[in-house]
Amino acid sequence: MELKGRVALVTGAASGIGHGIAQHLHGHGMSVALLDSDPHVIDLAADLVAEGRPAVGMIVDVTDARSVREAFEQAEAELGPPWLLVNCAGVYASGPTVDLSEADWDRCIGVDLKGVFLCSQAALRAMLPRGGGRIVSITSIAGRIARPAQIAYCAAKAGADHFTRCLSIEVAGQGVTVNSIAPGMTQSHMLDAVISRGASPAALLALIPDGHFAVPEDHAALVAWLASDEAAHVTGQVISVDGGQSLYQPIATGALSSRE
């Protein structure tokens, strides 16, 4: 995979999967713009610069078109034109639908879906005139399976996946590919929050056929491949990285008779 010297923009890069992806791409020789609403992203970018390759950290609100535009313009001015956009900024909302606040709905849809639109739009304005680029959105298996009390999150992730499919066809033949990676449960601050609210780690692991949580590097490796010339013919795909979780429906002990 020849990524050296190319430029990547990664949203949600201050922690979790986004930070793991930014580190991985930087390790493959890419110049990386780390974008996040968390000011800590500035220090994280400085750490990457200390490793000897270009990086820049920027504070951005992915739900605001002006903030996105200014961040993308700054990234291009400092690093060069983008080859890769990774949409990884995400928030989570849970609770019974009848109790879900409009503010929580708007925040989840705004970051997880509108943010994908605004950042992809800004990236395309730089990529299309140059005839090449890659967009990879980090969504979730929650976009393809039904989960109770996660209506905003599931709806946003399903929307982001179909956004990927539609956009991939729209820009097909113009040198830009568009794909999604749908993680299952991954070691991150989001999983930590779920467990802190009372979820049993053992019960969660029982939902994953291969028996362990993903780590950010599992997703980062696939992002790097999708960003490469080797994946030039792969577009419009939603690829689950979940240890088989989205395929698996556990059967309670004793639910089947001996004849079955």
Residue 153 annotated to the active site: yes
What distance in Å separates the CA atoms of residue 27 and residue 106, rounded to the nearest whole number? 36
Q: Are 189 and 36 in contact (CB under 8 A)?
A: no
pLDDT digits (tens, 9 = 90+) for 88-122: 999 999 999 999 999 999 999 999 999 999 999 99
Catalytic residue among 153, 183, 191, 243: 153
pLDDT for residue 260:
42
What distance in Å separates the CA atoms of residue 141 and residue 128, rounded to the nearest whole number? 29
What secondary structure letter does DSSP report for 186?
A: B
Q: Can you list the residues of the chain whose pLDDT is less than 50?
A: 256-260
Q: Are 144 and 238 in contact (CB under 8 A)?
A: yes
| Residue 181: strand pairing partners | 138, 239
Q: Where are any strands of DSSP class E within 164-203?
A: 176-183
Q: Which residues contact 164 (CB under 8 A, 6 or more apart)?
A: 135, 137, 139, 178, 179, 180, 236, 237, 238
pLDDT for residue 258:
45
Domains annotated on the chain, with CATH: 7-243 (3.40.50.720)
pLDDT digits (tens, 9 = 90+) for 48-88: 999 999 999 999 999 999 999 999 999 999 999 999 999 99
What secondary structure letter does DSSP report for 249?
A: -
Question: Global pTM?
Answer: 0.94
pLDDT for residue 257:
47
